[in-house]
Chains A and B, each alone.
Chain A
């Protein structure tokens, strides 16, 4: 009985299953019929329509490239803009006999061997139904001459295109950067970020500097046009159009005039200058010398110019302000002094005796002061004013490297400042851990001694030192440095101000700050290491000089600039903020192989401060050659 029921169920089940199977077959047949109907519709009923579309490729979807956003300085001066110009372009797939066509063309407009070379390069890179540029910046006369003869050249056309221009050229090259032709690496990057559609038709992309780091703001949104074209490829009629929206305008915190003066003040020196408003982190000037002509890169740099730039001993392509890593030298001393006060290792009034050298207990090795014979009795105030090395050898030893590491890293040493430019380097702030990791060696007491005067393992970038100086100027409250103040949208008339991002308050005791600031003011007054540079200034400058050794010296050897080749001379540093009582600007000057900070770097800083605070434009530059003498550091 039981078996009977199951058997019956089984048959019923089979029946139901086959019913469902039949429904499935019906379902598949319906799908097939839908497809067949669609194919018949496309291939029979609408065939003529698609036939014409395909054959003459009558309708083409043309991307409309948006205008790239402008870059302005804080006062509205233009740092990067576009101008329109005419280019002569060839579509290889529509042209019979490329070589002949180009030869013919050269009788009408000038085509240099360089143009031909660039065209060949494009031809190899691009697909041959795209239009490729053979000449740019045609004169009106050339345009007229070609237009009259255009019928002879199928597949060749004149196009109006926008070109990028940087009015300040080399002076802002390291800041603004440049755009360049989109290459395979860029394409891969765009594909990864799913931006390929928005870059259809775009030829250029930001390669370095702000052009690169703000690419997404500057590029804009590509528009589309469906156009009807005749067999020669000329647009007859626009069928539909989605307009592009231009890229946003960047308004920088940079003061272009200040930037220019800072740049010129370097004269023939290589180096870097970064000026920051300590009250909000806005970067006012950002100089890396020497610069280069950014326009060389836009359409692909030629080999000769590239070799010149790349092999120059002056390394003009190196962004010194952002990426250059140097020993900080004596500019580290104010920060060391604060560390000494913070950890209670030095009372302000404590004096030490400086015989002109320092020795570690149980060792005869002499760490020399820059002044032979020493500074005599030195307290903290004087140690900064005369830049006493012996004082800081001792202080560093008493603090120990790890406390130095902890304290200085609060000022941003040893890490990226987070400025809105790509490619920043982190510098180096050593610690016991670091040395173990890097060299598998333990830290020696002797390593600490030279760290005290900024001459050991430590390396800083001018950008970092500028942030630290600004933080000190603002009593321990730092702001993340930034170059862009505002992003302006052209379409919706909406301005988006970039808010200043404050970093952690270092909570430095007011008495400590006061002591260090007073000492830094005294640096620029009689008896200090930067007295000449500050002479006659109607405001107080708080500053500190520094000299970074490029080559080491043996025990007992004396530094003599005249005997050392120019490239091995010391780097000159100067950090400053002014007016000392209510700082409106903090800056860092580095002059590579400039010798003494007081004589080379400080005068550059003075010109920048005079312009910024007084509006004074410097007279033709005085000679910035080294002065021999007592002054140092």
Chain B
């Protein structure tokens, strides 16, 4: 085989437009991290390592034929459930919540695994029953979603529980859950809210209210929002310039390499920069939808659509929280925030998208 052929084989399962969008976002990540880490190479270098690992995994998944991908659904879901039960029973308590499981060699956060595991399982289930979909199947699929979500909400990790619920809802929606049922659920939720509210303890109500009104907790989480909003607003149209953000470099911004990295970016590159970043995200999301539209099977359609929508949701929730229109929940800015776990989860998802796109030709023939 010539070198050229080898190269061809290496890239045949990579979707080029998607890869381009991802790489541009990753470059942005390194650029902003360098600034957020006060012009030091410490975190950018570590992030490069995270990226290298995650890209390798993405490549492996992209090369995995679809029927293999489907076969992983049940084992991954069951493993995730086992780990979640393990956390509930033996998990380590940190910051008042039980989220981590110590396996001796490493501590892991199983809820992260379920971000992919749950939609994968639901898509697999719908594929199995594609020919004869009835209301019963939607109920079973909903249960597949609610059990892990319940376990995660109990940890308590409300943010992750809500995000996984969203991913599951996307699968249900794309699988064709009738409008009438969705409308009914919505009305039921609205009607049930006051009832649940009346059942909560005072301190629980306080917590929820604080979630929506950060100024109530001006020294705690509210402080983050106040400082981040100042950073974004003071960036203006053109930004203060790379490495010149005062909020960032005078130490006012908390968690500025992780959840609040968008405030750094926005302060230094302004509205123009924000527009560019939004366009990049939209480019990746749009490509995801194209892949979804072209997907050949029920399973892949559901999976591709769900992955794309989750990605969009994460981006929206993070930027919404940093700019002060959403409560502070711990969601990183996808592909940009510092951190290995979320990087890995996201790129695994993109690996699936690429596999869906590049293997369908083989199925058709």
Known contacts A21-B305, A35-B278, A197-B217; can you find 18 more A-B pairs with CB under 8 A? A16-B176, A20-B174, A24-B174, A32-B281, A34-B325, A39-B271, A39-B275, A39-B323, A43-B271, A47-B236, A53-B234, A54-B233, A61-B223, A93-B250, A127-B251, A129-B250, A191-B95, A196-B220
Report chain B residues within 8 Å CB of A226.
218
A35 in contact with B316 (CB, 8 Å): yes
Asked if residues A43 and B174 are in contact (CB atoms below 8 Å), the reply is no
B274 within 8 A of A: yes
- Chain B residues with Cβ under 8 A from A17's Cβ? 174, 176, 301
With A17-B174, A192-B95, A224-B219 already in contact, the answer to whether A54 and B251 are too (CB < 8 A) is: no
Complex CA distance for A397 and B234, rounded to whole angstroms: 84
A21 with B218: CB separation less than 8 A: no
Instruction: Please tell me which one of the listed residues B232, B286, B313 contacts residue A39 in the complex, with CB atoms under 8 A apart.
Output: B232
- Give A16 to B174 CA distance when docked, in angstroms: 9
Closest to B176 in A: A16
Q: Pick the residue among B95, B275, B309 that contacts A28 (CB under 8 A).
A: B309
- Give the residues in chain B near A224, CB-CB below 8 Å: 218-219
16 pairs from A and B in contact (CB 8 Å cutoff): A13-B176, A17-B174, A17-B301, A28-B309, A32-B281, A40-B271, A42-B232, A43-B236, A44-B237, A51-B236, A61-B219, A61-B226, A63-B219, A192-B94, A194-B96, A200-B219
A50 proximal to B (CB < 8 A)? yes
Of A16, A49, A196, A242, the residue contacting B233 (CB under 8 A) is A49
CB-CB nearest 3 A-B residue pairs:
A50-B233, A54-B234, A197-B220
Docked complex Cα distance between A192 and B92 (Å): 12
Query: In the complex, which residues of chain A have a beta carbon less than 8 angstroms from the beta carbon of B312?
Result: 28, 31
Residue in B230, B285, B286 whose Cβ sees the most chain A Cβ within 10 Å:
B230
User: Are B323 and A42 within 8 A (Cβ)?
Assistant: yes
Residues of chain B within 8 A (CB-CB) of A25 are: 286, 289
- Closest residue of A by beta carbon distance from B320: A35
> When A43-B270, A129-B250 are in contact, do A38 and B237 touch as well, CB less than 8 Å?
no
8 A Cβ contacts from A1-45 to B: 13, 16-18, 20-21, 24-25, 27-28, 31-32, 34-36, 38-40, 42-44
The binding surface of chain A is classed by DSSP as helix
Chain A residues with Cβ under 8 A from B325's Cβ? 34, 38
Is B173 close to A, CB under 8 A? yes
CB distance from A56 to the nearest CB of B (A): 10
Residues 200-258 of A contacting B (Cβ, < 8 Å):
200, 222, 224, 226, 242
Do the beta carbons of B174 and A54 come within 8 Å of each other?
no
Please measure, in the bound complex, the distance between the C-alpha atom of A191 and the C-alpha atom of B96, giving whole angstroms. Answer: 10
Band of interface residues on A: 35 or more
Residues on B with beta carbons closer than 8 Å to the beta carbon of A16: 176
Q: Mark A519-532, 1 if CB is under 8 A from B, else 0.
A: 00000000000000
**Cβ contact within 8 Å between A55 and B234:** yes
Residue of B nearest to A40 (CB): B271
Residues of A within 8 A of B176 (CB): 13, 16-17, 20
Question: A35, B319: Cβ atoms under 8 Å?
Answer: yes
Interface residues of B (CB under 8 A from A): 94-96, 170, 173-174, 176, 217-220, 223, 226, 229-237, 246-247, 250-252, 266, 270-271, 274-275, 278, 281-282, 285-286, 289, 292-293, 298, 301, 305, 308-309, 312-313, 316, 319-320, 323-325
- Of A24, A46, A196, the residue contacting B289 (CB under 8 A) is A24
Task: Say how far A257's CB is from chain B's closest CB, in angstroms.
Answer: 42
- Is B236 a contact partner of A54 (Cβ separation < 8 A)? no
A17, A44, A51, A127 — most chain B CB neighbours (10 Å): A17
Which residues from chain B contact A40 at a C-beta distance below 8 Å? Answer: 271
Return the chain B residue nearest A35 by Cβ.
B319
Residues of A within 8 A of B324 (CB): 38, 42
Question: Which of B252, B274, B285, B320 contacts A43, CB < 8 Å?
Answer: B274
CB-CB under 8 A from B282, the residues of chain A are 28, 32
Write the chain A residue with the least CB distance to B282.
A32
Does B236 contact A36, Cβ atoms closer than 8 Å? Answer: no
**Closest B-chain residue to A36, C-beta based?**
B278
Which residues of chain A come closer than 8 Å to B220, judged between CB atoms? 196-197
Assess A55 versus B246: contact at CB under 8 Å? Given A39-B232, A39-B323.
Answer: yes
Q: How far is the CA of A24 from the CA of B309 in the complex (A)?
A: 8
B271 cross-chain contacts in A, Cβ below 8 A:
39-40, 43-44
A129 to B305, alpha carbons, bound, how many Å? Answer: 48
Give min CB distance, B209 to chain A, whole Å: 15
Residues of B within 8 A of A197 (CB): 217, 219-220
> Is A18's CB under 8 angstroms from B232's CB?
no
**Max count, chain A CB within 10 A of own CB: residue among B219, B236, B292:** B219
* Most chain A CB neighbours (cut-off 10 Å) among B266, B286, B312, B313: B312
Residue in B closest to A61 when the chains form the complex, CB atoms: B218
Cα A44 to Cα B266 in complex, Å, equals: 12
- Tell me the bound Cα distance from A129 to B253 in angstroms: 13
In the assembled complex, the CB of B218 is this many whole angstroms from the nearest CB of chain A, namely 5
A24 to B293, CA, bound (A): 12
Chain B proximity of A297: nearest CB distance (Å): 27
Residues of B within 8 A of A46 (CB): 233
Contacts of A242 in B (CB 8 A): 218
Which of B218, B229, B270, B289 is packed against the most chain A CB atoms within 10 Å? B218
On chain A, the residues within 8 Å of B251 by CB distance are 127, 129
In angstroms, Cα B286 to Cα A568, docked, is 86
Q: Assess whether A38 is in contact with B234, with CB atoms less than 8 Å apart.
A: no
Q: B308 — which chain A residues lie within 8 A by C-beta?
A: 24
Whether A54 and B246, one on each chain, are in contact in the complex, defined by CB atoms closer than 8 angstroms, is: yes
Q: Separation in Å of the B18 CB from the closest CB of chain A?
A: 16
Within 8 A of B (CB), among A51-99: 51, 53-55, 57, 61, 63, 93
The distance in angstroms between the C-alpha atoms of A511 and B128, with both chains bound, is: 83
**Are A38 and B323 touching (Cβ within 8 A)?**
yes
Please, how many angstroms separate the alpha-carbon atoms of A46 and B305 in the complex?
37
Q: How far is the CA of A127 from the CA of B305 in the complex (A)?
A: 47
